[in-house]
Chain A
Amino acid sequence: MRHLLSTQDLSLADAIQILDTAEEMAAVNDREVKKLPALRGRTVVNLFFEDSTRTRISFEAAAKRLSADVINFAAKGSSVSKGESLKDTAQTLEAIGADAVVIRHSASGAPHRLATTDWIDAAVVNAGDGTHEHPTQALLDAFTLRRHLARVAGTPSSGLDLAGARVVIVGDILHSRVARSNVWLLTTLGAKVTLVAPPTLLPIGVEQWPCEVSYDLDDALADAPDAVMMLRVQAERMNASYFPSTAEYSRLWGLGDERFARFAEPEFRDTVILHPGPMVRGLEISSAAADSDRSQVLRQVANGVSVRMAVLYLLMSAKESAR
């Protein structure tokens, strides 16, 4: 693995290697001294063209715990008309001696451009590109789910895949990079994924994805899945007629109090709630659901650091051995 651009091109073996490495990193994160010397003297640049404090500090913590030097580069505007081009920025980072670039960009495919042009030689990690992919989010979701399933089964999680697991992903699939990355990764790991959304928020062509699609959340929840992932829905979508009102959206596709009450039924005993954050409470998820013991939201955040440590470690040590 030279770069991490998407989960679609991640093999099962690579995915399990990342998750297993993340388990080792998690052990470090449980220690009092949360630091490894693995990337000492190496430079990681967090190149963020889009505001995302959560993802940026997660990558920053991951790189620092591996003893890498971290440069945070918040780039505003990116078109030729609006300032420095991506190419010039990339070449600048190359000249500075970046070993890895973690890039967040509003344009789908921007990380691919860095990885496939000769602008920069560094390892490229996609930290979310437009409405394309967010691979480390999917990896941390898979990691969180794998740990949960292992805990329920009473086994260690290392080496496991997600065969047989059932995951329902609910919300704005059309505009979600998280959904795309999760569909590919979770199915590669053997899980069965069901997408639930209003038809307006599903992409044309979704029927070719390796998952089920439903317009009815109650139907999708009927057989008590192992995890329900609620995606953030931007209220502005209403203005573009993706749905008539936030109230109707919440009623039909939100995890509100009534729907969450079903989680008290015995067959839902081991069903967990995932959310990539930031949550819009009252729209796609009620506070009762978000704050319940089924919610894995804070575990996801903590696991995010371990997963990103694993990704940086694997990519940068692979790059070292390739030289």
Chain B
Amino acid sequence: MTELVAGPAYLVRGASLYGEERADLLIEGGRFTAVGSGLDADGATVVEADGLVALPGLVDVHTHLREPGREDAETVETGTRAAALGGYTAVHAMANSNPVADTAGVVEQVHSLGRRAGWVDVRPVGAVTVGLAGEQLAELGAMADSAARVRMFSDDGICVHDPVLMRRALEYVKAFDGVVAQHAQEPRLTAGAQMNEGAVSAVLGLPGWPAVAEESIIARDVLLAEHVGSRLHVCHVSTAGSVEIVRWAKSRGVNVTAEVTPHHLWLTDELVRSYDPVYKVNPPLRTQTDVEALRAALADGTIDVVGTDHAPHPSEHKECEWAQAAMGMTGLETALSVVQHAMVETGLLDWRGVARAMSELPARIGRLADQGRPLAAGEPANLVLVDPAARWTVDPATQATKGRNSPFAGRELPGRVVATFFHGHPTVLDGALNTPHPGSAGER
């Protein structure tokens, strides 16, 4: 993207880069101008980072910002504030808005709302099919060529289940280096599904969402991607069996990437015994065996990235019977802490691995040239500073997202985002929102 105007300079002093060696980072004009020890502040504002881990600004491949259409649930403004507080500098806004983001007009609107808000880069995801209806390809090329420069396409929330349509979408996006991000859910196997199908659903009497409904679609899609030589991204992988299929596909050289949500790295369907719809999500919470397989897969790279699937809902859509409740959980403000809990504190992933799964690879999948870059001189100054020793208790009422549907409410989590720099500007300082990027939209 383009350069931004010269803002005030910042010197981040004594941060532990990727949790490894300590260094100072000098930020000027939106870029790191020097990285090393004992840098001279020389008029720059000093941010003391002793004991903090520095990572490239996080990139979410899977965010629901709800605007346009469901501004009661979230807006680009509130959702991107939440993102900044969570350490993000870019998010991919899913297409299931109202109207659906299936035209150049809608993706440009979302893109421009993001630029106006100024908290993170908002990268719209384009719908694969018109109206998410699964019948006719949306104008993928027009969205790719638009000002929003869409590269990721998804009907997320709904599976592109027609095999011919999925094949065509995979083929078509090759023209502009796009990727189809599939919500893998065989619809006939999941009609009326309410939770993971297994021992718990049997007892609770809730219609089951079987693992095979996800795995069969992933198996089909990796074969299609191989056949047409295109790029497939699998959203929110949730089962041990899916991991095996993705591992097999990668071993064959299929160009597939996979994502896991923070909640699937920790929570299980045992929580559904409460019938509290805060635990209702799609794909559903699975079993401990699945959680362990997902953690191992993220650690060994079979699963490439963590995507939040941040899905805010108004409270009335959760304060009701389970069957009538909306599916989805908030996640932007808890993702990094949950990953620290599930992956770092278990020894499965180091901070360099976190940077890879939450910044570098997400940026590469979305083809964001100036995100997920190394913490090095000359690179765009997208940065998050984390205090890994901090502990905090999740209180949804105090979060920036409009959604109060956090499954981690009341839990104590490790790690706190102390500061987020977005193209050289601190959107978060001292753990609190600072100001949006002052540059006008055209300057970023």
Contacts and interface: CB of A to CB of B under 8 A. Distances in A.
Contacts of A157: none
Which of B199, B203, B319, B321 neighbours the largest number of chain A CB atoms within 10 Å of its CB?
Answer: B321
Interface string A122-142: 000000011111000000000
Contact of A177 (B194, B205, B275, B320): B205
B198 interface: yes
A204 B322 contact: no
Contacts of A78: 320-321, 324
Interface residues of B, number: 25
Nearest to A79: B324
Contact of B203 (A106, A112, A130, A205): A205
A132 B194 CA distance: 13
Contact of A130 (B205, B274, B317): B205
A132 B206 CA distance: 7
Contacts of B42: none
Nearest to A5: B275
Nearest to B315: A87
Interface in A200-235: 203-206, 208-209
B274 A180 contact: no
A109 B316 contact: no
B324 A109 contact: no
A298 interface: no
Nearest to A207: B199
Given A80-B316, A80-B317, A130-B205, A108 B199 contact: no
B85 to A, nearest CB: 29
B390 interface: no
B286 to A, nearest CB: 13
A234 B432 CA distance: 58
A261 to B, nearest CB: 34
Given A108-B204, A177-B205, A204 B320 contact: no
A236 to B, nearest CB: 14
Contacts of A288: none
Given A108-B204, A112-B274, A132-B204, A204 B321 contact: no
A204 B324 contact: no
B201 A204 contact: yes
Interface string B198-215: 111111111110100000
Given A203-B201, A204-B202, A208-B202, A112 B275 contact: yes
A68 B33 CA distance: 79
Interface string A278-304: 000000000000000000000000000
A113 interface: yes
B202 A108 contact: no
Contacts of B200: 205
Contact of A180 (B205, B321, B322): B205
B171 interface: no
A80 B324 contact: yes
A8 interface: yes
A116 B203 contact: no
B276 A116 contact: yes
B198 A205 contact: yes
A164 to B, nearest CB: 25
B205 A85 contact: no
Interface residues of A, number: 30
Contact of A85 (B194, B201, B275, B320): B320
Given A205-B199, A205-B200, A86 B321 contact: yes
B316 A132 contact: no
Given A112-B274, A113-B275, A116-B274, A107 B201 contact: no
Contacts of B205: 108, 129-133, 177, 180
Contacts of B210: 204
Interface in A80-122: 80, 85-87, 105-110, 112-113, 116-117
Interface in B367-421: none
Contacts of A180: 203, 205
B323 interface: yes
Nearest to A115: B275
A99 to B, nearest CB: 23
Which of A130, A180, A208 neighbours the largest number of chain B CB atoms within 10 Å of its CB?
Answer: A130
B333 interface: no
Which of B200, B205, B276 neighbours the largest number of chain A CB atoms within 10 Å of its CB?
Answer: B205
A208 B324 contact: no
B60 interface: no
Given A204-B197, A204-B198, A204-B208, A113 B321 contact: yes
A203 to B, nearest CB: 4
A109 B322 CA distance: 7
A86 B323 CA distance: 12
Contact of A107 (B203, B276, B321): B321
A92 to B, nearest CB: 15
Contacts of B274: 112, 116
A127 to B, nearest CB: 15
A87 B205 CA distance: 22
A299 B192 CA distance: 37
A206 B203 CA distance: 8
B278 to A, nearest CB: 12
A109 to B, nearest CB: 3
B321 A110 contact: yes
A8 B203 contact: yes
Contacts of A109: 204, 206, 275, 321-323
A180 B206 CA distance: 12
Contacts of B208: 203-204
A79 B194 CA distance: 15
Nearest to B275: A109
A130 B323 contact: yes
Interface in B288-337: 316-317, 319-324
A106 B319 CA distance: 17
Interface string A26-63: 00000000000000000000000000000000000000
A305 to B, nearest CB: 26
17 contacts: A8-B203, A78-B320, A78-B324, A80-B316, A85-B320, A108-B204, A109-B206, A110-B321, A112-B274, A112-B275, A113-B276, A113-B321, A133-B205, A177-B205, A203-B202, A204-B208, A205-B203
Given A110-B321, A208-B202, 17 more contacts: A78-B320, A78-B324, A79-B324, A85-B320, A105-B321, A108-B194, A108-B205, A108-B275, A109-B322, A110-B322, A112-B274, A113-B321, A132-B206, A180-B205, A203-B202, A204-B198, A205-B201
Interface of B: 194, 197-208, 210, 274-276, 316-317, 319-324
